[in-house]
C-alpha cells in the first residue's frame, strides 16, 4: 500500500512458508539454506509502486547481491520477469485457490510422481541444522523445543 517506494519483509524462511520436492535435490537445497541462513531471514521486496517490485536474492552465496524484477499481472499472479509466473495457490487463511491449487497438484504429481512436499518444520535454527546430522532423540535435548 502507498506511500511508495516501500519495502515488504517477507519471512519466507520460517517453518511452513516455503516448499521443496521431497527428493535428493529438494532436501539438498533445504540443507544449503539451514546452514547459510537463519529461520528469521527475510526475503525482501522493494516496491516502486503497487505493480512492480525488485526482490533481493535469497542467497548472496549463489546469486550475489542481485535483485530480480517482478511485475503484477493480476491479484493472483506476478511475472518474475524473464523467469516464471508466481501464482497464488493458497490464500493467507490457508484455503486453496479454486483454480491454481488443483493445477499445482496436477503439475506436482506429474513432475514428481510418488513424492511428497518437504517444508521446514521448525523455526529453531539448531533443530533445523541438527536434523541433517542426527535423529530427533538427539536433536531435541541438545537444541530444546522445536
Give strand pairing partners of 70: 53
Q: Is residue 76 part of a domain?
A: yes
Element at 75 (helix H, strand E): none
Task: Give the count of alpha carbons within 13 A of 144, CB side only.
Answer: 4
Domain count, the chain: 1
Mean pLDDT taken over the chain? 89
Segment 31-52, tens digit of pLDDT: 998 998 899 998 889 999 999 9
Segment 67-113, tens digit of pLDDT: 889 999 999 999 998 889 999 999 989 899 999 999 999 999 999 99
* 86: containing domain: 6-143
Q: How far apart are CA 114 and CA 110, in angstroms?
A: 9
53-61 contacts: CB < 8 A, separation 24 or more? 53/8, 55/80, 58/12, 58/33, 59/32, 59/33, 61/36
Q: Is residue 81 part of a domain?
A: yes
DSSP codes, 33-61: HHHHS-TT--EEEEEEETTEEEEE-S-HH
Q: Is residue 77 part of a domain?
A: yes
Please say if the pLDDT value at position 18 is more than 70.
yes
- What's the pLDDT score for residue 65? 62
Q: How far apart are CA 70 and CA 83, in angstroms?
A: 10
Model confidence pTM above 0.75: yes
Q: Is residue 111 part of a domain?
A: yes
DSSP annotation of 145 reads -
Q: Is residue 137 part of a domain?
A: yes
Q: Is residue 1 part of a domain?
A: no
- What's the pLDDT score for residue 125? 95
Q: Is residue 15 part of a domain?
A: yes
Place of cell 533445504: 30
Q: How far apart are CA 87 and CA 68, in angstroms?
A: 17
Amino acid at each position: 500500500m502507498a506511500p511508495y517506494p516501500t519495502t515488504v519483509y517477507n519471512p519466507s524462511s520460517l517453518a511452513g512458508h516455503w516448499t521443496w520436492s521431497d527428493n535428493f535435490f529438494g532436501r539438498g537445497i533445504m540443507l544449503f539454506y539451514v546452514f547459510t541462513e537463519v529461520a528469521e531471514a527475510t526475503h525482501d521486496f522493494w516496491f516502486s509502486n503497487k505493480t512492480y517490485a525488485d526482490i533481493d536474492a535469497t542467497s548472496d552465496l549463489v546469486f550475489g547481491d542481485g535483485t530480480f524484477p517482478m511485475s503484477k499481472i493480476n491479484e493472483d499472479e506476478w511475472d518474475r520477469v524473464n523467469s516464471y509466473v508466481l501464482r497464488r495457490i493458497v490464500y493467507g487463511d490457508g484455503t486453496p485457490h479454486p483454480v491454481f491449487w488443483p493445477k499445482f497438484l496436477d503439475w506436482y504429481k506429474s513432475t514428481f510422481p510418488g513424492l511428497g512436499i518437504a517444508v521446514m518444520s521448525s523455526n529453531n535454527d539448531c533443530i533445523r541444522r541438527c536434523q541433517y546430522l542426527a535423529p530427533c532423540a538427539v536433536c531435541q535435548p541438545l537444541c530444546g523445543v522445536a
